[in-house]
Amino acid sequence: MRDDARGRGSGGGNPAVQAQLPGGARPAAAGPVVTLQMFTSEQKPTWCPGCGDFAILNAIRQALVELQIAPHQVVLVSGIGCGSKLPDYLHANGFMSLHGRPLPVATGIRLVNPSLRVLVVDGDGDAYGIGGNHFLHVQRRNLDITHIVENNQIYALTKGQYSPTSEAGFRTSTSPQGALEQPVLPTRLAFTAGATFIARGFAGDPKHLASIIAAGIRHPGYALIDVLQPCVTFNKVNTYDWYRERVYKVEETGHDPQDRQAAARLVEEWGPRIPIGVLYEDHSQPTYESQVPGLARGPVVGRRLDDLPDETYARLVDQFR
């Protein structure tokens, strides 16, 4: 993880920032502390002009500011892909992992230091393709991780192959006859796997997307935010206009995310109408880390080896003597 002389580690820093409410929010009376400028990186994005990843980057920054989560209190984990460059473009802790492997890395970070807010940012190929196994198991475990998937329905970094979310028949340079497989519907898969927070956002509405990301960060448990993110270079079908003709905000329909039956219908909806917003939220399930006995005494990262229970310490000493 990146660190610097300003104390961006786990714990130290501004006491006003440390005094937080559950979910990373601060009392309104305390006034603003964290600003957008604090997340400004020296690295400039190399995405194509018009790429939906710009909106996702800005929405993440806005959500962190809304929740008053400082750069040293968050870590972004990514995989491989256009959008997985995002940790370089945000002044905060970051870890760029292997293709399809950000979720297990995030799991390790979360278990070692649960005081950090852990966000995973990767693409549809990374999350739903090569990382599909991890995608399944992080949901049933319900670790407190916010998973933002940049779903552009194509492999953009490798020049335009179809991805797990590409529609059947989708033509690319490597599939001139069209994709043969049926696409993955991430919201359906997450609901079936037991995710306790399922949402969909649209890069063409960054303000709405920021509010969804903030809700996902506040949620105590795994949160999937599938972001419809147009690729302006390689995907000429699923464009901003294509989405704008179809998306609608579920909160404007009076949808209750805690209504499981209503959510079961919404997670299946894809076609002429595509719901965006928080589709499902369940507060009844405990997080994985809250059930780990070893974390009952606080984060492992802040403990000394001799702070272990006597029998464990003695066993380790004997083992390595």
Q: Domain extents for the chain?
A: 15-287, 297-321
pLDDT averaged over the chain? 86
CA distance 269 to 284: 25
Task: Measure the CA–CA gap between 299 and 274, rounded to whole angstroms.
Answer: 41
Label residue 21 left, alpha or beta by phi (over 0 means left) and psi (-120 to 50 means alpha): beta
So what's the pLDDT on residue 308? Answer: 61
Report the distance separating Cα 161 and Cα 317, nearest Å: 53
Q: What is the domain class of 15-287 according to CATH?
A: alpha beta
Q: What is the mean pLDDT of residues 101-129?
A: 93
Answer whether 34's CB lies under 8 Å from 70's CB: yes
pLDDT band at 289 (very low <50, low <70, confident <90, very high): very high
pLDDT > 60? residue 25: no
Residue 159: predicted pLDDT: 78
Residue 212 has pLDDT above 50, yes or no: yes
Task: Write down the pLDDT at residue 21.
Answer: 36
What is the pLDDT averaged over residues 153-175?
Answer: 83
Checking if the pLDDT of 62 tops 90, the result is: yes
Compute CA 115 distance to the chain's CA centroid, rounded to the nearest angstrom. Answer: 17
Give the confidence band of 300 by pLDDT, cuts at 50, 70, 90: confident
pLDDT > 70 in the chain, percent: 87
Closest to 53 measured CA to CA, from 249, 201, 164: 201
Which of 22-26, 107-111, 277-281 holds the top average pLDDT?
A: 277-281
Task: Give residue 26's pLDDT.
Answer: 40
